[in-house]
Structure 1
Amino acid sequence: MSTARPGTSGSGPAAGTAASLATPPSSLELRRREERTRRARRSTLTALVSTLAFAVLLWVGVTSAPGWPRVQAAFLDPQVAASSLPGILRGLWLNVRVLAVAAVLTLVLGMLVAVVRTLRGPVWLPLRLLATGYVDLFRGVPLIVLLYIVGFGVPALRFTDGRISSVVLGTTAIVLTYSAYVSEVFRAGIETVHPSQRLGARSLGLSYAQSMRLVVLPQAVRRVMPPLLNDFVAMQKDVGLISLLGAVDAVRAAQIAQLDGFNFTPYVVVALLFVLLSVPTARLADWVSIRATRREQAGAVL
């Protein structure tokens, strides 16, 4: 007489579990799923129709204006757009390089200022005051004003015998401004980490620097990722301001093309290129924000 192994017979617990998992949904559940699918399709169709209707009304309203032919000739000339596009793309590549360097330097300097502002103890008071003054100063000065101060004031000091590049000066001004904002974002993230995290790390034998690097900062960075991405989107637009110092970026290339033909189409071209540059980052920021919200609502540890 053979003996069946546990979990292999049709009457075992595993078989019962498999049978329960294989149970098809009820007719009521199927009707609910069909209703949810119909509602989703109806909502998508409604949104698409309303968007198209709004776009058509906007187009009709703009093109029926008395001055539309003149605006079309001055701002939407395809030939001018095609002729100015190569120069604008070369300038945009400069903007992208400035953006990459400025973003890295801003993160490093902003993190440093945020950590200094969170130092505890009276011995660190001078550094905390210096970091606070830095944030208050560069958050209060408009970026365009700071560009002129750095762009024309620093060369007047004659630190070097040669001429300092306008790209370097413009990048410096952008880093000084945005690091002040980013430092406050990092500081907010650091302060949201519960003190028990730091105390627990210290009780395990970690030093203050190790607890900040291994315990506090990783949590703080994850929590402030959405606002950091929003600051990055804003920086993508503001790198075009380096043209004020003479750098031949996308904006300055559009200005040169506009002066050659007395047509404003190059400005429209550079505007569209900056939009195409910022939209992916903006959508990434939205996705990260939604993901963080869902994780918080689900009770996950950030």
Structure 2
Amino acid sequence: MIEGTETPYRPSARRLAREAYRRRRARRSALIAGVSTAATALVLWLVIVSSPGWERTRETFFNAHYARQALPEVLKGLRVNLELMVVCGALILVFGLLLALLRTLRGPVFLPVRLLATAYVDFFLGLPMIICLLIMITGVPALRLTGVTTDPLVLGGAALVLTYSAYVSEVFRAGIQSVHPSQRAAARSLGLSNAQAMRYVVLPQAVRRVVPPLLNNLVSLQKDTGLVSIGGVIDAVYAAKIITSQSFNYTPYLVSALVFIALTIPMTRFTDWTTARMNRRQHQGGAV
């Protein structure tokens, strides 16, 4: 070989054969998956359309006229759901993190605080969301408290924050407890206080580890914003209900459901991508 020149890399015949085999197997798997999916969809379609009540069901739930009539109103009401998701999501993250920190405080002097935070989390974890919404939307105005709003949108959002903060606090607490105690000990040996060790060492690691479950909670929150319609808030669900009550056709409900699904699927796929990315970095020895 002449000095200063490099021989171009050429994969061996065995490697080329192995890669060709993997490509053939991938194509074969994709073909089988496509055929089986198409066959399953065809069978389901034939079962549905051949059922005795299919014509009536199609007219009641899949009416194109009422779908076109409902879509603009549903999209107009969807703005309320999106606003609730953004505002309540931010408040839930802050309040949930605060609850998690209160539950992880050390020392006997903080026992009352830990007990109160634990009681709050246990209560709202066990309280069904629909009951919490009913209590907030109908119970708070009944008290006639001075200076307290009776707006069902605000009260419904408060119910979402109260309930979801309990779930999110458990996610944060799990992330904090997953950080090895040696991390805190190392921070303390460097002269950091407990609060500084939590802020600069434990929390950054904990938050990165719980990003996927937090995104899953956000997906659930986006769906549950539709429950505020029980208080009369005209969101996407209530807009569909109004049209349904006028026509006695349930196609607007299906339109509302499809709109929520269209929002949820990208968020779910983003959560899956984030989880897979973090898993790859962990397996490769990179930072989480």
**TM-score by shorter chain over 0.5:** yes
**Is the aligned partner of 1:293 residue 2:276?**
no
* Residues 12-27 of structure 1: pairs in structure 2 closer than 5 A: 15=5, 18-19=6-7, 22-27=8-13
**Residue of structure 2 aligned with 1:91, choices 77, 86, 90:** 77
**Residue of structure 2 aligned with 1:143, choices 126, 129, 154:** 129
Aligned to 1:36: 22
Q: Deviations over 1:227-254 (max 9, x none)?
A: 1111111111111000011101111100
Q: Which runs of 5+ in 1 are unaligned?
A: 1-8
1:54 shift after superposition: 1.1
What RMSD in Å do the two structures reach over aligned CA positions? 1.5
Q: Deviations over 1:15-63 (max 9, x none)?
A: 5xx43xx231112211111111111111112111111111111111101
Aligned to 1:283: 269
Aligned to 2:37: 51
Give 1:11's aligned amino acid: E
Aligned to 1:6: none
State the distance in 2 between where 1:285 and 1:211 align.
29
State the distance in 2 between where 1:163 and 1:183 align.
27
State the distance in 1 between where 2:120 and 2:74 align.
35
**Residue of structure 2 aligned with 1:180, choices 149, 166, 169:** 166
The number of residue pairs the alignment matches comes to 288
State the distance in 2 between where 1:264 and 1:89 align.
17
**Is the aligned partner of 1:111 residue 2:77?**
no
Q: Between the two proteins, what is the percent identity of the paired residues?
A: 54
**Residue of structure 2 aligned with 1:215, choices 198, 201, 204:** 201
Give 2:214's aligned amino acid: L
* Other structure's SS at 1:48 match: helix
* Other structure's SS at 1:296 match: helix
Normalization by structure 1: what TM-score?
0.91
Distance change in 2, residues 1:162/1:176 (3 Å): closer
State the distance in 2 between where 1:216 and 1:162 align.
38
* Other structure's SS at 1:206 match: coil
Distance change in 2, residues 1:132/1:163 (3 Å): closer
* Other structure's SS at 1:263 match: coil
Q: Deviations over 1:156-176 (max 9, x none)?
A: 222335752111000000111
Normalization by structure 2: what TM-score?
0.96
Asked if the contact 2:212/2:274 (under 8 Å) is kept, the reply is yes
State the distance in 1 between where 2:206 and 2:223 align.
26
Aligned to 1:193: 179
**Is the aligned partner of 1:100 residue 2:86?**
yes
State the distance in 2 between where 1:111 and 1:163 align.
26
User: Is 85-94 or 149-158 further displaced after alignment?
Assistant: 149-158
User: Is 213-222 or 66-75 further displaced after alignment?
Assistant: 213-222
State the distance in 2 between where 1:23 and 1:248 align.
65
Aligned to 1:3: none
Aligned to 1:242: 228
Give 2:206's aligned amino acid: A
Aligned to 1:130: 116
Q: Which runs of 5+ in 2 are unaligned?
A: none
Q: Deviations over 1:160-194 (max 9, x none)?
A: 35752111000000111110011001000000101
State the distance in 2 between where 1:284 and 1:229 align.
9
**Residue of structure 2 aligned with 1:224, choices 192, 199, 210:** 210
State the distance in 1 between where 2:103 and 2:150 align.
32
Aligned to 2:3: 11
- The structure that has the greater radius of gyration is 1
State the distance in 2 between where 1:207 and 1:93 align.
45
1:213 shift after superposition: 1.7
State the distance in 1 between where 2:191 and 2:151 align.
48
Asked if the contact 2:88/2:160 (under 8 Å) is kept, the reply is yes
* Other structure's SS at 1:132 match: helix
